Amino acid sequence: MILAKRGATVDGFDISPRAIQCARRRAVANGVADMTAFEVASFYSLPYDDARYDAVIGQAILHHLREKGQVARELYRVLKPRARAIFSEPFGNSSWLERLRLLVPVPSGAPDDPTEWTRQLKYTDLEPFRSLFEIDVAEMQLLSRLERLVSSRRLVAWLKRFDVSVLRTCPWLRRYARTIVVELRRR
């Protein structure tokens, strides 16, 4: 909705009809229904024209999709040359660290959390995209993942700044991050 409020035309899709109904209601409530179109669709077969989009943004999508090569081809097809796709994904390159989450008693709205770690994105999941896209990766949330347990906003802000610094200076720690942001640039 934020992009539509700033003047962008926004198309969205999800495999869940309920999610699409919710998106449409939110577009109306935010006064951007005329700037948005939402439909039920699968990433494996997108209902959009070739080379239609300047940008694609996704939140926690890629790690659910098993056929990454097919997704890469569909994404390539709908993006304009030199366009970008950016995805923020739960990162699970360190399964022992994700299992450690099982010991943290934090309530979640997701019924399968914290066992969702079994389907986290891994570096190897990006391989099918390499032939079609230039790829940049940014790892985030090392210590700041504790924000679910810490009530101090100042401490959480400090932890986030600390994470940026540590992950920049100690690249070997990146594989222990909680979130990964993947930027794909169409060749």
CATH number at residue 167: 3.40.50.150
Per-residue model confidence as pLDDT tens for the chain (187 residues):
899 999 999 999 999 999 999 999 999 999 999 999 999 999 999 999 999 999 999 999 999 899 999 999 999 999 999 999 999 998 877 666 666 666 665 554 544 444 444 578 999 999 999 999 999 999 988 888 778 788 899 998 999 999 999 999 999 999 888 889 999 999 9
The answer on 75 and 115 residing in a single domain is yes
Question: What are the distances in angstroms from CA 176 to CA 6, 66, 80, 86, 93?
Answer: 35, 23, 34, 21, 7
Strand partners, 85: 56, 184
Are residues 99 and 147 both part of a single domain?
A: yes
What single letter denotes the amino acid at residue 128?
Answer: P
- How far apart, in whole angstroms, are the C-alpha atoms of residue 34 and residue 19? 18
User: Total domain count for the chain?
Assistant: 2
pTM score: 0.84
Same domain, 29 and 105: no
33, 54: one domain: no
Residues 67 and 126 in one domain: yes
* Residue-number span of the structural domain to which 7 is assigned: 1-41
Element (H, E) at 82: strand 79-90
